[in-house]
Amino acid sequence: MQSDLDSIYKVDQMARQNEKTVLITGAAQRLGAAMAKTFHKAGYRVIIHYFGSEAAAHKLCAEFNQVRPESAFTCHGSLSQPEAITKQVCEITDALAVLINNASSFYPTSIGTITEQDWDDLFESNAKAPLFLTQSLVPLLLKHSTESPEHTSSVINLVDIHAQKPLKDHTVYSMAKAANQMLTLSLAKELAPNIRVNGIAPGAILWPDQEDEVNEEYKQETLNKIPAQTLGDPQHIADTALFLADGPSYITGQILSVDGGRTLFS
């Protein structure tokens, strides 16, 4: 009987060793939560990073662990301190298959009202943090690629269609996302061939959290510019992220627009 239990334990340990781990920043809500659910369903161990959404993060983690024990973990920290986030990740795993830089600040900065605090906040979350967090996690990403050469590690950055075509009254945000886009392309060159780096540029997927501040006229104007004539769904982004992580290993240095055709128009 004991030998049977030992065999089951060894099989379980081997299965866990073969599991791939993904870290998603800002994974407690919205697009981050959709990606976390999709990767977990696909068999990944998921590290749910959060800063302010503690209750939502722990709730999501508990839901995942009910389905598959020890398959989800939480990681708390400010994006301004990537070393603290990296330390927690290293305590959870010694190899990382996928890093998704999703967390992002987003709000208008009309000319005449822009402050240095706006600049620091928007550039920190959208450009600085993805760079320094990726840099600090390269050893874990390389370890996964070394142990699983058939499945190279991936970094996926959430860019924005407005990295190329600016959004009115969002000058600083658009600039920060343009930096994020160049970061994606630059890292794809520098980290090849063992780590693939790609980006996703969402179009209109979700209205802002403060939806009551977005009037119906603005919503309709936005939809009129989308050939698909509808708002996107977070699952569209989640499915694209999983494709970039698990799909053809020959894809790197690409930024996929998921926008219902919005970028076809000026």
Domain residue limits, the chain: 11-264
Strongest mean pLDDT among 114-118, 162-166, 223-227, 260-264? 114-118
In tens, the pLDDT along 21-63 reads 999 999 999 999 999 999 999 999 999 999 999 999 999 999 9
What Rg value do the Cα atoms of the chain yield, rounded?
Answer: 19
The pairing of beta strand 153-158 with beta strand 98-101: parallel
* Higher-pLDDT residue of 223, 248: 248
Residue 4 has a pLDDT of 47
Residue 222 has a pLDDT of 72
Q: Does residue 17 register a pLDDT over 90?
A: no
173 a catalytic residue: yes
Rounded Cα–Cα distance for residues 223 and 198 (Å)? 27
Using CA atoms, how far residue 70 sits from 18, 123, 180, 240, in Å, is: 14, 35, 33, 26
Place of tokens 């696909």: 42
Assign 202 to helix, strand or coil: strand
Residue 7 has a pLDDT of 43
In tens, the pLDDT along 83-120 reads 999 999 999 999 999 999 999 999 999 999 999 999 99
Residue 10 has a pLDDT of 42
| Residues above pLDDT 90, as percent of the chain | 76
Rounded Cα–Cα distance for residues 1 and 159 (Å)? 54
Whole-model pTM: value is 0.90
Domain 11-264 belongs to what architecture? 3-Layer(aba) Sandwich (3.40)
Catalytic residue from among 9, 50, 173, 250 = 173
Asked which of 125-129, 134-138, 140-144, 231-235 is least confident by mean pLDDT, the reply is: 231-235
